[in-house]
Structure 1
Amino acid sequence: MTESVWGSVHDDMTALLSGHPDDVPAVVDQLTKLQDVLERVPPLLASNPLADFNRLYLKITTSVLERLYAGRFADPAFLARLDVEFAARYFDALRQFGDGSTCCPRAWGVLLRRVAGPDCRPLPSAAAGVNAHINFDLPFALVTTFDHLGSDPIDDSDQHRDYLQINEIFAENIPGLRRGYLERWQLLIDTMNGDLDDWWQGELIEYTRDVAWRNAQKLWAVRHDLAGLAQERDRLDQNAASLGRLLLSPLGAFLQ
């Protein structure tokens, strides 16, 4: 399983995923190194769908780091911890899939099984990664972060307002990121649509992240109930996996 997934870059990938970054600069550094490795994974190389997602994730995380340096967050310790916990789940999924572990979430498996081909279109691939990371990973990352900091996921708190700032980062970056995945004929259609595509995709990210916050509140309420927590985990994983399959289906090509 390992060799069939990462091929000739198996050793590089294993070394890169052997530990977790402990701050946001380290997350950016690890994502940067991961991009280099992913673009060498055979047979698709830079065209593999995971590289398409990682490129987007790196851009967004770099923007988060810039805001942290600029003092834009009311509770930077919360945002930094959330960023680290969030990234850890992504890196864990890659390691688990490469090891052939049954612990790899189904939400990620949908995309990771496409790394060896057949090729996927870039924008649906990136969207499938965003789906797995936000709809499945993010609620659990929020719970772990709040538990670590000894606070609660309360609406309209400083933490919640900081969380909502990430929607602004997506809105700022979506136009450039999305057009970077388009072919020439698609760029022509995109120009004819004006700002419409950017607007609805920004609205979709905002809605999806709000759902993740609500799901984190549900998880928080059952965090000490192992059976209830497992049930919620299975529900979120199954829902994200189903959406991921849809995004990577021929229907997903309409995203472009």
Structure 2
Amino acid sequence: MTAQLPTTIDGVISRMEEIDAELDRHDGVACFNRVYLKVTKLVKEHVTAGTFKDPAFLERMDVIFAGHYLKNVDAAKAGRPTELPWQPLFEARGNRVIWPIQFALAGMNAHINHDLALAVVETCKERSTAPEVAPVHEDFEKVNDLLASVEAEIRAEFELQIVKVATAPAEQLKHAVAAFSMSSAREVAWLNATQLWEARNNPVKYQVQLTAMAGAVNATSRMILAPVVPPPAD
């Protein structure tokens, strides 16, 4: 039986908190979930505070967006295959040679570079609007600004960990982490969303774009998750 997905941002937060409580803190999915939970709580705060011009649209998109991740969590828990973009993270989740930040980045890669474009398209269809109709893009970009503080916090925590492993491979990992940017990934996601939107009435073209996107995300996550040097012991 497929679990029912949350329909509100509060429901999404509750479900992520349940996942956090269920999983070992070293589990790769748990590492991503902790970051995503922090981001979702931040988005909720700004939805409530009136930061966005169309908070109802933004919240609905956030719920649809989260649903793509939660579907894969449910699939893995039930012993079913996860989707191609998510397979690297779920396959590697128990590898203790991989750093928590690698797991977090692989999850962000799958979720932002694949699921976010789908969430934009699906929300626009549901609410009878389009990516080019104001204020869809403007509100989308406001989220980028919110994520800057979260990304800085993640990197600062990683810097504290990596000083304990003063090796050349650790420095290579540091450079690889520095190359990933949530805001840049979201810019790519927006471009993908507009391309998928343009192809929405052409099933063949739409599927070709979706398949290419999923394959690229899968390959990138496998590179992100390549073991380099064991993380320091807790």
TM-score range relative to shorter protein = 0.7 to 0.9
Which residue pairs with 1:26 in the alignment? 11
Which residue pairs with 1:138 in the alignment? 116
Aligned positions of 1:19-168 closer than 5 A: 19-38=4-23, 45-102=24-81, 104-154=82-132, 157-168=134-145
SS of residue paired to 2:132: coil
**Which runs of 5 or more structure 2 residues have no equivalent in the other structure?**
167-174
Which residue pairs with 1:176 in the alignment? 153
Which residue pairs with 1:194 in the alignment? none
**Which runs of 5 or more structure 1 residues have no equivalent in the other structure?**
1-13, 39-44, 190-196
Establish whether residue 241 from structure 1 lines up as the match of residue 218 from structure 2. Answer: yes
> What's the TM-score, normalizing by structure 1?
0.79
SS of residue paired to 1:47: coil
Q: Which of the two has greater helix per residue?
A: 1
Query: Aligned pair in 2 of structure 1 residues 249, 139: CA closer, same or farther (>3 Å)?
Result: same
Q: Deviations over 1:189-244 (max 9, x none)?
A: 9xxxxxxx9xx66x822111011011011111111222222211111110000000
How far 1:169 moved relative to its partner? 1.4
Contact 1:52/1:122 (CA < 8 Å) preserved in 2?
yes
Q: Percent identity?
A: 28
Q: Deviations over 1:14-33 (max 9, x none)?
A: 8xx71111111111111111
How far 1:101 moved relative to its partner? 3.5
Structure 1 vs Structure 2 CA RMSD: 2.8
SS of residue paired to 1:82: helix
Contact 2:16/2:33 (CA < 8 Å) preserved in 1?
yes
- Of residues 172-181 and 160-169 in structure 1, the stretch that sits farther from structure 2 once superposed is 172-181
Match for 2:50: what amino acid? G
Aligned positions of 1:197-212 closer than 5 A: 204-212=181-189
Select the structure with the greater relative contact order (CA < 8 A; seq sep ≥ 6): 2
C-alpha distance in structure 1 between counterparts of 2:226 and 2:190, whole Å: 27
Match for 1:62: what amino acid? K
Q: Deviations over 1:79-138 (max 9, x none)?
A: 011101001100111222333445x32110100011233542011110000000001111
Contact 1:246/1:252 (CA < 8 Å) preserved in 2?
no
How far 1:60 moved relative to its partner? 0.4
C-alpha distance in structure 1 between counterparts of 2:164 and 2:146, whole Å: 22
Match for 2:14: what amino acid? D
Q: Deviations over 1:39-94 (max 9, x none)?
A: xxxxxx21111111000000000000000111111000110111010011001112
SS of residue paired to 2:181: helix
